[in-house]
Chain A
Amino acid sequence: MTGQRTTRGGRIDRTRPVSFTFDGRGYQGFAGDTLASALLAHGVRLFGRSFKYHRPRGLLAAGTEEPNALVTVSRDAARRTPNVQATQVEIYEGLVAESQNRWPGLGFDLNAVNSFLSPLLTSGFYYKTFMWPRFAWHRWYEPVIRAAAGPAHAPRLPDPDRYAQRFAHCDVLVIGAGPAGLAAALAAAATGARVILCDEQAEPGGSLLDEPAGTINERPAALWIDEALVKLGAQPNVTLLRRTTAFGYFPHNMVGLVECLTDHLATPAAAAPRERIWQVRAREVVLATGAIERPLVFPGNDRPGVMLASAARSYLHRFGVRVGSRIAVLAGCDEAYAAALDLHEAGPVSPSWPTSAMRRWARARRRHGLLVCRSLNAPPCWPRPVGGESAA
Chain B
Amino acid sequence: MLIINCPYCGPRPELEFSYAGQAHVARPADPSATGDDEWTAYLYLRTNTRGVHAERWRHARGCARFFNALRDTTTDRFRRDLSER
Contacts and interface: CB of A to CB of B under 8 A. Distances in A.
A251 B13 contact: no
Interface string A244-264: 000000111010000000000
Contacts of B52: none
Contacts of B3: 252, 281
A253 to B, nearest CB: 9
Contacts of B13: 281
B2 interface: yes
Contacts of A279: 1
Nearest to A279: B1
B76 interface: yes
Contacts of A281: 3, 13
A281 B2 CA distance: 10
Interface in B22-79: 76
A23 to B, nearest CB: 43
A279 B13 CA distance: 12
A333 to B, nearest CB: 37
Nearest to A256: B1
- Assign chain B's interface to a size class: under 10
Contacts of B76: 251-252
A40 B3 CA distance: 48
Per DSSP, chain A at the interface is strand
Interface string B1-12: 111000000000
A251 B78 CA distance: 11
A247 to B, nearest CB: 14
Contacts of B1: 250-252, 254, 279
A282 to B, nearest CB: 11
Contacts of A252: 1-3, 76
A148 B31 CA distance: 65
B17 to A, nearest CB: 13
Nearest to A254: B1
B28 to A, nearest CB: 36
Contacts of A250: 1
A204 B62 CA distance: 41
B55 to A, nearest CB: 16
Nearest to A252: B3
Nearest to B75: A251
B82 to A, nearest CB: 17
A252 to B, nearest CB: 5
Interface in A234-288: 250-252, 254, 279, 281
A36 to B, nearest CB: 36
A315 B58 CA distance: 56
Contacts of A251: 1-2, 76
A281 B11 CA distance: 12
A281 B12 CA distance: 11
A269 B14 CA distance: 36
A210 B32 CA distance: 78
A254 B2 CA distance: 8
A217 to B, nearest CB: 39
Interface in A47-83: none
A251 B76 CA distance: 7
A169 to B, nearest CB: 10
A250 B1 CA distance: 6
Contacts of A254: 1
A125 B2 CA distance: 44
A279 B76 CA distance: 19
A251 B1 CA distance: 6
A292 B2 CA distance: 32
Interface of B: 1-3, 13, 76
Given A252-B1, A254-B1, 5 more contacts: A251-B1, A251-B2, A251-B76, A252-B76, A281-B3
Interface of A: 250-252, 254, 279, 281
10 contacts: A250-B1, A251-B1, A251-B2, A251-B76, A252-B2, A252-B76, A254-B1, A279-B1, A281-B3, A281-B13
Identify the 10 closest CB pairs spanning chains A and B, nearest first: A252-B3, A251-B76, A254-B1, A251-B2, A252-B2, A250-B1, A251-B1, A252-B1, A281-B13, A252-B76
